[in-house]
Each structure stands twice: as C-alpha cells, then as structure tokens.
Amino acid sequence: MASYGHYTTSPIAVPTKAPQYQYYQPTQHQAYACSPPEAPESVTTGSGMTPTYGHSAYSATSSSYAGSASGEYDSSASANGVDLQEYMQDRFNGAFDPLPLDRTLAVQAQTSGLLNAKHRELLDLQQLAQQRIAKSRARLAEGYQDAKEVKRDLEWSQKRVSGLKSKASRKHPKEYKQARARYPSPEY
C-alpha cells in the first residue's frame, strides 16, 4: 500500500483476461422451418466468405448480396425478378391450411350454442325451483298455524274431559268405580 501524505491507496483488482463472448453457431443436425431461397449457380460459386446454414447444399458469398464489399449492387446476382412478397405469400398459403381452423370454429360455435341453451334451461329450472320453494314455505307456515290450532283444541278437549271425569267421579263414585273396573284407562 502506498501512502501519500494522509491519503492511502489500495490495490485495485484488474481483470487479466478479456471476457469471452460466445456466438450462436448452428449445428449440422438442426432443422429449420423453411429453406433458404434458391440462387443461381453463378451467385453461389463466387469468392469470399461462405457462411453455412445447416444444409451443405446452400451457400452464399458476400459478393452476392446488395451492399457487398465492393459497394455495388449486382442486379444479375439478385432474385431475378422474383417478387419477395408474392413468394412469401405463396409459401404461407402452402404452409397454412385453413380447413382445420374452420372446423374448429364451427365446433366452437356449436358448443357455445349448446352451452347457451343449457344455461337458459338452468335459469328456467332455477326460477321454477324458487317458485316451488316459495309455495312450500307458504304451505309449511299454514301447516304450523293448523298444528297450533289443533294443539290448542286438544288441550281444551283434554281439560274438558278431565273436568267431566272429576265431576262424574264425585257425583257418581260407585258407578265410576264399576266403569273403571270394566274399562281400565291407559293412564292408570
């Protein structure tokens, strides 16, 4: 550590190696979704850097592209009048089959219609069940009221029978004992 007056310096860690960057390199066994466009033989046999794209049958040189190292545009090495948009549209039309999608949409529409019909049916059944529950509650309330009236009538009748029994036992004790012996009561 070096000291300069009241300042002190510490050693600083310096990386000894530059960082290593890894670039993507396609392997020969990788498959691509579409093949590269075909180029005339004169384009693929030029000199310069030859990149590979997974298939050894296709190669391109740096001079075959617009804006190459020479800085000039070579019209003879271009796509020879092929409309790129039309080419891509043809490729897309060949790769895309709308029939399964149409079938799927039809099945989805049918399923949606069936679900909607079942939902409406469930709503109707729910409304019917609510009406029946309301009627059942009204009948239950009426039944409770009838049961209270019957209980009140039975209690009144029981009091009346008990009063008549006690009156008969006091007024006619001899006949009451004979009747009890002949017809025993379940209470005794």
DSSP states of 78-91? S-TT--HHHHHHHH
Residue linked to tokens 């006619």? 172
Percentage of residues in the chain with pLDDT exceeding 90? Answer: 32
Q: Which residues contact 27 (CB under 8 A, 6 or more apart)?
A: 54
pLDDT tens digit sequence for 140-187: 999 999 999 999 999 999 999 989 988 988 998 898 888 888 888 776
Neighbour tally for 43: CB within 10 Å: 20
Instruction: List the end-to-end C-alpha distance of the chain, in Å, as a whole number.
Output: 119
Closest Cα to residue 63, out of 79, 45, 81, 80? 45
**What pTM value is reported for the model?**
0.37
Beta bridge partners of 148: none
The pLDDT of residue 54 is 47
Cα 55 to Cα 37: distance, rounded to the nearest angstrom:
12
| H-helix segments, the chain | 41-44, 84-95, 98-171, 173-182
| Radius of gyration of the chain measured on its C-alpha atoms | 52
pLDDT surpassing 70 at residue 85: yes
Rounded to whole angstroms, how far apart are CA atoms 54 and 107? Answer: 41
**Could you tell me if 60 and 38 are in contact, meaning their C-beta atoms sit under 8 angstroms apart?**
no
Tens of pLDDT, residues 54-78: 444 444 454 444 544 454 545 444 5
User: Can you say whether residue 80 is alpha, beta or left, with left for phi > 0 and alpha for psi between -120 and 50 degrees?
Assistant: left
